Amino acid sequence: MPINDEALDVLFRNARTHRHWQDKPVSPALLMAIYDLVRWGPTSGNCCPARIVFVVSNQAKERLKPHLDAGNVTKTMSAPATAIIGYDLGFARYLPILAPQNPGAIEDYERDPDLARTTAFRNGSLEGGYFILAARALGLDCGPMSGFDNEGVDREFFAGTAVKSNFLCNLGYGDPSHLRPRAARLGFDEACRLV
């Protein structure tokens, strides 16, 4: 059954990218609930390569700050939480649990690192989209962004792992008084074709 218009408004039509935040914390339980929804979204071969670091403490924010572009510092430091959405190049090690029906998959990815990289990035990005929708569905506002030093963030938060950062997503309860006018979107005929 389709979801109702009110839910579609929350997820898409009325949802906005926030840059200013209310002084209201986001609980660890709510952050865990986001991931509990994200993990059910489909990925190719159930590879599930997304890895997420929730930056919530002042100490962790100070570690993130030097790697942010100047225009992203204030909005990130004032956000109750920032998620570093990453993708694990070593995702295949979990395939015996996630995809036992495909026992040769680990070897396929080990033989072809380019295939592993493409698979991890594509599916990790897909899970990043699920992340934004899950956060919105649970009542949070999002501020997804690029504009940071990926290599610096990887050294700081993913050292010693095969995880690479993809994008950041500030989370919290946005301050609607600072929203910009809604930007245009392409219409169906401008972005799509029926063939």
Residues 21-48: pLDDT tens digits? 999 999 999 999 999 999 999 999 999 9
When mean pLDDT is compared across 76-80, 98-102, 127-131, the lowest value belongs to 98-102
CA distance 53 to 61: 12
Residue 47 Rama label (left phi>0; alpha psi -120 to 50; beta) = alpha
Give the pLDDT score at 24. Answer: 97
Average pLDDT over residues 169-195: 96
CA distance 114 to 188: 34
Residue of 175, 159, 59, 166 lying closest to 121 (CA atoms)? 166
Give the pLDDT score at 182. Answer: 92
Assign 3-state DSSP to the chain and report helix, strand, coil percentages, each to 5: 50, 15, 35
Second CATH level (architecture) for the domain 17-167: 3-Layer(aba) Sandwich (3.40)
Average pLDDT, the chain: 97
Dihedral angle sign, alpha carbons of residues 75, 10, 123, 161: positive
pLDDT-derived band of residue 58, with 50, 70 and 90 as boundaries?
very high
Give the pLDDT score at 142. Answer: 98
Q: Hey, how many other C-beta atoms are within 10 angstroms of the C-beta on 106?
A: 17
Half-sphere exposure of 39 (CA within 13 A, CB side): 9
Q: In what order do the strands lie in the sheet with 141-145?
A: 50-55, 81-88, 163-172, 141-145
Give the pLDDT score at 62. Answer: 98
Q: So where are the chain's domains?
A: 17-167
Cα 64 to the center of its chain, rounded Å: 16
